[in-house]
Chains A and B, each alone.
Chain A
Amino acid sequence: MSLFEPEEIGLKVGLEIHQQLNTPTKLFCRCKKFEDSFVNTMYRTLRPTQSELGKIDPAARFEFEKNLRIKYEIGENSSCLVELDDEPPHSISMEAVKTSLIIGLALSSNPINELHVMRKIVIDGSNTTGFQRTLVVSTGGELKTSNRSVPVQAIFLEEDAARLLGDSKNKRNYGLDRLGVPLVEVALAPVTTTPKEVQEIAYALGRLMRSTRLVSRGLGTIRQDVNISIFDGKVVEVKGVQRLDLLEKIINFEALRQKSLINLKDELINRGLIPEDFQNKPSDITALFQKNNNTILKKVLKKDMKIYAVKLKKLSGILSFEEFSDVRFGRELADVARFYGISGLLHSDEIPGHGVTSIEVKKIRQKLHLNELDGFLLLSGEKGKLEKASEAIQKRIQSAFSGVPAETRGPTPDGKTRFIRPRPGSARMYPETDIPPITISSKLVNELKRNIPRPWEEQILEYISKFSLSRKLAIQIYDSSFIDIFEELANTTNVPSSLIAATLTETVVNLSRAGLDTTILTAAMVKSLFTTLDNGIVSKEAIPQILELILKREVKNVEEAIEKIGLTALTDNKLFVLVKTIIDENRELIDEKGIASFSNLMGQVMSDARGRVDGKKVSSILKSELNKTLSLDNK
């Protein structure tokens, strides 16, 4: 049961879906491979640029002051000097432009007449340039789902970021293989909706894009950003939701979190507080903890590190207060501290405890001249960082007076969200001067209109009839990354389409649930598996076992798997001999039980034949041989 009514709290959700395109090359260079093994490394630092007002974004400056050294892993085939930012971009991939326009046209969006590539400043290292190249290809339009219509704001074409491989204190590691892969972004307008419906909208959009047959499929090729707001709050962006089944949970969590922040605002005002109450200088209390080595504050404490205490006027009880499960203001403040590189943080609602004694708490309260209603924070870390963090945390408290702050958050694996950074403004976009504008003629638009895919539903119906699949199986295989190889095999082999489809969806999903990495399964392996089956070399019963061996990396290919299991199919002749032998060995049993001995005999034959021949065939041969034997006996 939901803890709120979406309409009552004014829940508005805007989806931005990022989908990798299945183009022959990257967006601004002609690298063909999108995944690679790395053979070289490079180190870079990025530095914030000054805006027109002479200002540097404080969050960007902070990132820079972390003195982050970014390590890039370079593959020989997947990246060139363009990804290294050591060569200007080449011309844009027109394949990608056309695909993004087709997706736009399928959503009744209006193509832009002249495309302008922009630079969007991002200095976390995910782009070697320090910006992402991005362009609007069309504006407006609508997405129709089975029961509603959602307006489209705009459709963008952009380069994918480098792949994050590792992130620690002042080292960050990216792979360049994914950098520059074309992505289409569809930004839907925020609409009043329910968390469940958002998931349906996301599915509908994903399916529309896949129906073009021009986009990549599989895990990591589609990502969602969700903009969530409620009445009286600002928009919160949750970035990088990879699993659609988490969307509902995330939206539910965010709505409650935002609702509790709006309630907090009222509570702060009720307590007679004003934002100016939170401009306190922190006090150095390192000496107080000189002998106490039990607290987590000390765990991160190295030489020259300090412990600071910050007074939080009349906030006692608020920091741990949990209106909804797992939504606490103390956690919001801890997230800010973490952003500023502080990991040791405790607040007055949770101590004594965590290794801090009540005597120490008393001493802190005395030192800060606190009364009972006042709360406080303890922070440990480097002196310079502590000062910045204590200022930022108090700023965060000040912004609680206006309810929900606009910020970028990230999803957690269990469907909650965590603060990543403040939301950047539009003032971080400027033209990519290395690439001239691209004219989109009316003639091209008319040509592309002819390539608008038939609706997804229509294509599914066709799949059901053409390949004799159940609706469920048709949808599963259509949405899967094996769609192309499925069609090839279904059209060229005599293996039943439903067996191919079920293997590539259900069997693979089961193996993945068993913890195996199914991404290593290539189209070539699938092809060789079903060709072997088609040629009668193995039987369908052997498929799961062969796949399992491959995914466990115990064998390199289907041939090795067959060899390892000791499987080669029984020819009709050999099967016949086997059946005869079993019958001969069991004459007594047959004499005694007659036709009722069938299941026993079947079990004996199958213990030899399993995986080597279709069970149905065994059953029919055995039946006829058994009948022959019994009728002879009767004579």
Chain B
Amino acid sequence: MTDIQGYKGVSYNLLSKSKVSIGDFIDVKTNNGSIQGSLMPRYEYADDQHIVIKMSNGYNVGLRTKKIISIKLITKRSAPSFQPPKTPKLDPKLPKVAIIGTGGTIASRVDYRTGGVHPQFSTNELYAIVPEIGKYAQIHTKPLLNIYSEHINADHWNIIAEKTVKEITEGFDGIIIAHGTDTMGYTSAALSFALSNSPVPIILVGSQRSTDRPSSDAALNLIGAVASVTRIPFSGVYVAMHGSVNDSTVAIHRGTRVRKNHTSRRDAFQSIDVSPVAFFKDEKVEVLTEDLPLKNSSLQFKVRCQFEKDVALIKFYPSFNYKLIDHLVDSGYRGIVFEGTGLGHLGEDCYQSIDDAVKKGLLVGMTSQCIWGRVNLTVYDSGRDLLKIGVIPLGDMLPETALVKMMWALGNAQSGKEAEILMHENIAGEYLERSTFERRKKYEFI
């Protein structure tokens, strides 16, 4: 059986006829002479007209099948002999930290022959790659899931929450969750509600540049997360990511107030309407706020990790068709969070559909598509109309946080009324009492 991953059609037939596998060192005779090298795998979406080999100088080239006269095997691929790193010595005086892996590789190893990246998640390997974490804590890695964050759903939040509770009960002093960045803000909100008053801090961490490159932001983010989870005095759920485009500062954001605001920059994550909770810089953690619940407090650790999936987040736009609301109601949805315009408005042809939805028992909440700032439904008539219908104004809660909260409220409450009460309650800093002036620019470029 030959292993010729990714090849199909013409190139597949050519390779299987030649009885060569990925990694084999082969000689390819073409119209323009011979080229020798190792057979490489093919990308899934690439055409079937080329085969790819890695020449001895390390470069890959694609050879057109039409021009190939023959392929000869020179040597079979030998498996690389990987040498696992030694077990590091853990300092028993340091706090114990568990790192739960959900995917999005924090540490990885490159296969130069195939170009693939092997995710590494054993404790030993993590220490070998980012030895600095040993300064702050005794680390234990806990692989849990291995999925891209865009594939994460509410079931996974439940799995992650339960695993976190398990590690907290086993006596860890802090929990780190390695997570893909695309939906990290949603997961951090989900855990903030599911694990209120956690006795120890929980920090999600990811990277904007993959870890197979020397410039990856993963290592610094991880170091910042480990240092912060052992040093911040607070309970609760946070996100640790680069505070600027420099490799110098890691910002610690509150789990319900953080948003990914750039597709690719290292400092894509920002705290909205509030300063980050803390910064890690030059091996020190600077705490910037005082008014958060302290860890190991007498407050009861409440684990409520059910989520109702039938909740929609809808962005209103000019020409929005109210039938979309009717459709959600007919499909059995239990809640809708709107991203309204400005202070929280919708076009008037939606009112009837929303009224029907509320009457049928759906929770309907209002946030603003402005991202920054809070909704206010009493300033204009349109707002008052929505209030009268029964739309719940969600203050300055982020739209994504509001969605997650409604999923959580409906998942854990016994009744719609109870869920509505939970929506009004400030569970994990999702509501801010004050709108302070321009704090969002303050920490750029440090």
Which A residues contact B (CB, under 8 angstroms)? 42-55, 81, 84-88, 110, 112-116, 118-121, 123, 128-131, 134-136, 139-140, 154, 156, 426-431, 433, 436-437, 439
Report how far A123 CA is from B214 CA in the complex, Å.
7
Contact across chains for A50 and B266 when beta carbons are under 8 A apart: no
* Most chain A CB neighbours (cut-off 10 Å) among B54, B85, B211: B54
Asked, given contacts A52-B80, A52-B109, whether A86 binds B265 with beta carbons under 8 Å apart, the answer is: yes
Query: 23 interchain pairs (CB within 8 A)?
Result: A45-B220, A49-B110, A49-B212, A53-B82, A54-B125, A55-B83, A87-B264, A113-B61, A114-B50, A119-B213, A128-B215, A139-B35, A139-B61, A426-B57, A428-B112, A429-B54, A429-B58, A431-B60, A431-B115, A436-B43, A437-B43, A437-B46, A437-B62
Question: At the interface, yes or no: B75 with Cβ under 8 Å from chain A?
Answer: no
* Most chain A CB neighbours (cut-off 10 Å) among B47, B209, B214: B214
Contacting residue for A86 out of B43, B58, B110, B266, CB 8 A:
B266
* Most chain A CB neighbours (cut-off 10 Å) among B61, B81, B248: B61
Question: At the interface, yes or no: B246 with Cβ under 8 Å from chain A?
Answer: yes
Report how far A236 CA is from B128 CA in the complex, Å.
32
Q: Which residues of A contact B208 (CB under 8 A)?
A: 86
Contact across chains for A53 and B81 when beta carbons are under 8 A apart: yes
Interface size class of chain B, counting residues whose CB lies under 8 Å from the partner chain: 35 or more
Question: CB-nearest residue of chain A relative to B118?
Answer: A52
Measured CB to CB, the closest approach of chain A to B245, in angstroms, equals: 5
Measured CB to CB, the closest approach of chain A to B14, in angstroms, equals: 14
Question: At the interface, yes or no: B52 with Cβ under 8 Å from chain A?
Answer: yes
Contact across chains for A430 and B82 when beta carbons are under 8 A apart: no
Q: Which residues of A contact B110 (CB under 8 A)?
A: 49-52, 430
Question: At the interface, yes or no: B67 with Cβ under 8 Å from chain A?
Answer: yes
Q: Which residues of B contact A433 (CB under 8 A)?
A: 115
Question: At the interface, yes or no: B219 with Cβ under 8 Å from chain A?
Answer: yes
Contact across chains for A113 and B52 when beta carbons are under 8 A apart: no
Question: At the interface, yes or no: B84 with Cβ under 8 Å from chain A?
Answer: yes
Q: Which residues of A contact B248 (CB under 8 A)?
A: 43
Measured CB to CB, the closest approach of chain B to A271, in angstroms, equals: 37
Measured CB to CB, the closest approach of chain A to B216, in angstroms, equals: 7
Contact across chains for B215 and A85 when beta carbons are under 8 A apart: yes
Contact across chains for A135 and B59 when beta carbons are under 8 A apart: yes
Asked, given contacts A119-B213, A429-B59, whether A114 binds B112 with beta carbons under 8 Å apart, the answer is: no
Question: At the interface, yes or no: B129 with Cβ under 8 Å from chain A?
Answer: yes
Contact across chains for A113 and B62 when beta carbons are under 8 A apart: yes
Contact across chains for B215 and A44 when beta carbons are under 8 A apart: yes
Interface set, chain B 1-36, CB cutoff 8 A to A: 32-33, 35
Report how far A156 CA is from B50 CA in the complex, Å.
20
Contact across chains for A43 and B246 when beta carbons are under 8 A apart: yes
List of 6 A-B pairs having minimum Cβ-Cβ separation, nearest first: A114-B62, A130-B214, A429-B58, A426-B58, A431-B115, A113-B64
Measured CB to CB, the closest approach of chain B to A116, in angstroms, equals: 4
Asked, given contacts A52-B111, A53-B83, A427-B112, whether A130 binds B59 with beta carbons under 8 Å apart, the answer is: no
Q: Which residues of B contact A87 (CB under 8 A)?
A: 263-265
Contact across chains for B113 and A140 when beta carbons are under 8 A apart: no
Contact across chains for A49 and B50 when beta carbons are under 8 A apart: no
Question: At the interface, yes or no: B436 with Cβ under 8 Å from chain A?
Answer: no
Contacting residue for A54 out of B56, B83, B216, B265, CB 8 A:
B83
Measured CB to CB, the closest approach of chain A to B354, in angstroms, equals: 40
Question: CB-nearest residue of chain B relative to A437?
Answer: B62
Contact across chains for A50 and B35 when beta carbons are under 8 A apart: no
Contacting residue for A116 out of B49, B59, B266, CB 8 A:
B59
Question: At the interface, yes or no: B147 with Cβ under 8 Å from chain A?
Answer: no
Contact across chains for B60 and A54 when beta carbons are under 8 A apart: no
Interface mask (B79-106 → A, CB under 8 Å = 1, otherwise 0): 0111111000000000000000000000
Report how far A121 CA is from B49 CA in the complex, Å.
30
Q: Which residues of A contact B246 (CB under 8 A)?
A: 42-44
Report how far A426 CA is from B59 CA in the complex, Å.
9
Q: Which residues of A contact B81 (CB under 8 A)?
A: 53
Measured CB to CB, the closest approach of chain B to A121, in angstroms, equals: 7
Contact across chains for A426 and B56 when beta carbons are under 8 A apart: yes
Report how far A48 CA is from B131 CA in the complex, Å.
12
Report how far A57 CA is from B133 CA in the complex, Å.
21
Measured CB to CB, the closest approach of chain A to B283, in angstroms, equals: 12
Question: At the interface, yes or no: B55 with Cβ under 8 Å from chain A?
Answer: yes
Interface mask (B341-384 → A, CB under 8 Å = 1, otherwise 0): 00000000000000000000000000000000000000000000
Question: At the interface, yes or no: B326 with Cβ under 8 Å from chain A?
Answer: no
Contacting residue for B58 out of A52, A55, A428, CB 8 A:
A428
Q: Which residues of B contact A429 (CB under 8 A)?
A: 54, 57-59, 112
Interface set, chain B 404-438, CB cutoff 8 A to A: none
Contacting residue for B82 out of A44, A54, A121, A139, CB 8 A:
A54
Asked, given contacts A45-B247, A130-B214, A140-B32, whether A113 binds B58 with beta carbons under 8 Å apart, the answer is: no
Question: At the interface, yes or no: B303 with Cβ under 8 Å from chain A?
Answer: no
Q: Which residues of A contact B389 (CB under 8 A)?
A: none
Contacting residue for A136 out of B50, B52, B61, CB 8 A:
B61
* Most chain B CB neighbours (cut-off 10 Å) among A51, A115, A116, A121: A116
Q: Which residues of A contact B84 (CB under 8 A)?
A: 54
Report how far A439 CA is from B216 CA in the complex, Å.
30
Q: Which residues of A contact B266 (CB under 8 A)?
A: 86
Measured CB to CB, the closest approach of chain A to B362, in angstroms, equals: 41
Contact across chains for B213 and A116 when beta carbons are under 8 A apart: no
